[in-house]
Structure formats: structure tokens, C-alpha cells
């Protein structure tokens, strides 16, 4: 039973760990992050992928701020890099909101900043946050470099993945529960059979003595 519990715990962690892709720079050379508002869960990997131009990723302390965060452990790309040979992976470790911007002169001032919302439920939206200045159509970059277009700054592919993962989790959990109950039933039957056998032996001995 303990082994099944540990396996289920590891499975839950694996299912909920996803990759969230953020395009650094637009397909037409725009100075933007797409999506501008990033939704992630704890243990997700937020992957910044340079698409066009020269940009940086620097954490700030306030929304739409163009000043570097005062935190000692603030995340940063470590300088300015030019597309397309650059990616930066940020692990979502804690629930909360983080802000970031491009430190290249003039980029942040013209709207190249973003927000990361890390929660325990991807379906929880924050309607008070600003919608991406890139417009209603947002662009993500697939692993093979091809663009994926969605109609909001929320990442639908992650939501779908979460729902599919939840379905898989339910199926696997049901299988484990069935196996456990079947095992318990078998052990109970063996115990009953053993008790009946012992009673039969005692009865046989009594009859023999008579």
C-alpha cells in the first residue's frame, strides 16, 4: 500500500509539471513578450525563447516597472541576447506573482514587460491584470520552431494538458484502488478458508476421539 501511495505521489507531480513557452520578441520583430501575462503552476518550467531581435529578461518588483528588482535572488537572463540561439528556463517554485521586463533601452518603456502568475489552479484567472498589448491574438513557439496561435494570453494548451493529466490520474488511481481492493478481498478469502480449515481439523479430531 505504501508503494502504491509513493507511486501515486510521483505520478501526480509528473502530471502537473508542464512547460510554459514565452516568446521573447514578436515574429515580425516587435519588442514584446508573448504572452505578456503568464499563468503557471508550482513546478512548471517557464521557458523564455528568443524569437526576434536583441532582448533581455530581468525581474522587477512592480507591474510595468522598468527597474531591476531589489531582491538578492531576482531572476535574470544575465545580459542582452539576440534571437534565435537563446532560451532561459525559470522554474515556478512558489505561489505568487512575479514581474519582469526587457532591459534593452527603450523596450520596456514601449511595453516590453510581463507578469508571471504562479498558482495551484490554472483555471483561476486574474481579470484585473492588464491584457497583452500584442492584441487578442497571442503567439507561442512550438518545440520545432513553428508558431502556435491562441486567442488569449492564457495558455490553453497548458489547461488542456492539465485536464488530460487529471483524467489520466483518475484512471490510474482507479486501477490502483481496484488492485488494492482485489488484493484485500483475496487475503480475506484466504483467511476465511484458513479458519474453516482449522475448524474442520478440530472437528475431525473430536470425532476421532469419540
Q: What is the CATH number of the domain that holds 27?
A: 2.60.40.420
- The stretch 50-55 carries a mean pLDDT of 96
Residue 111 maps to a domain: yes
Question: Residue 185: its pLDDT value, please?
Answer: 78
Q: What is the pLDDT of residues 15-46, one digit of tens each?
A: 456 899 999 999 999 999 999 999 999 999 99
Strands (E), the chain: 19-24, 33-34, 37-41, 45-50, 54-55, 58-60, 81-82, 87-91, 96-101, 113-119, 138-141, 147-150
**Which of 134, 120, 126 lies closest to 36, judged by CA?**
134
Residue 113 maps to a domain: yes
Give 199 or 156, the one with higher predicted confidence: 199
Residue 7 maps to a domain: no
3-state secondary structure of 99: strand
Question: Residue 146: its pLDDT value, please?
Answer: 38
Q: Would the pTM of this model clear 0.75, i.e. be above it?
A: no
Residue 10 maps to a domain: no
Spatial distance between the Cα atoms of 136 and 131, rounded to a whole number of angstroms: 8
Give 209 or 109, the one with higher predicted confidence: 109
Per-residue confidence band for 173, with pLDDT thresholds at 50, 70 and 90: confident
Residue 158 maps to a domain: yes
- The stretch 116-135 carries a mean pLDDT of 55
3-state secondary structure of 207: helix
Residue 38 maps to a domain: yes
- The stretch 37-60 carries a mean pLDDT of 96
8 Å CB contact between 58 and 101: yes
Highest mean pLDDT among 101-105, 144-148, 151-155, 185-189: 101-105
- Give the mean pLDDT of the chain: 74
Q: In sequence order, which residues have a C-beta less than 8 Å from that of residue 35 and are 6 or more positions away?
A: 22, 114, 132, 134, 138, 140, 152, 153, 154, 155
Question: Residue 208: its pLDDT value, please?
Answer: 57
Which three cell numbers, joined as nine digits, stand for 142? 512550438
| Structural domains of the chain, count | 1
Highest mean pLDDT among 7-16, 110-119, 124-133: 110-119
**Which residues span the domain enclosing 79?**
17-162
- The stretch 180-198 carries a mean pLDDT of 70
Residue 105 maps to a domain: yes
pLDDT of residue 57 exceeding 60: yes
pLDDT of residue 156 exceeding 60: no
pLDDT of residue 151 exceeding 70: no
Residue 194 maps to a domain: no
Amino acid at each position: 500500500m505504501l508503494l502504491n501511495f509513493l507511486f501515486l505521489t510521483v505520478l501526480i507531480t509528473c502530471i502537473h509539471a508542464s512547460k510554459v513557452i514565452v516568446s521573447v520578441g514578436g515574429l515580425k520583430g516587435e519588442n514584446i513578450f508573448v504572452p505578456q501575462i503568464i499563468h503557471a503552476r508550482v513546478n512548471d518550467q517557464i521557458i523564455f525563447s528568443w524569437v526576434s531581435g536583441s532582448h533581455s529578461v530581468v525581474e522587477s518588483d512592480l507591474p510595468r516597472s522598468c527597474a531591476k528588482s531589489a531582491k538578492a535572488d531576482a531572476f535574470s537572463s544575465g545580459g542582452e541576447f539576440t534571437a534565435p540561439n537563446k532560451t532561459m528556463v525559470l522554474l515556478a517554485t512558489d505561489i505568487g506573482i512575479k514581474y519582469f521586463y526587457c532591459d534593452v533601452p527603450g523596450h520596456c518603456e514601449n511595453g516590453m514587460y510581463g507578469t508571471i502568475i504562479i498558482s495551484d489552479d490554472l483555471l483561476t484567472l486574474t481579470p484585473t491584470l492588464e491584457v497583452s498589448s500584442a492584441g487578442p491574438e497571442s503567439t507561442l513557439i512550438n518545440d520545432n520552431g513553428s508558431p502556435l496561435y491562441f486567442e488569449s494570453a492564457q495558455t490553453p494548451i497548458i489547461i488542456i494538458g492539465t485536464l488530460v493529466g487529471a483524467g489520466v490520474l483518475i484512471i490510474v488511481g482507479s486501477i490502483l484502488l481496484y488492485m488494492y481492493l482485489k488484493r484485500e478481498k483475496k487475503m480475506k478469502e484466504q483467511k476465511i478458508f484458513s479458519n474453516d480449515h482449522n475448524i474442520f481439523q478440530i472437528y475431525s479430531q473430536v470425532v476421532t476421539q469419540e
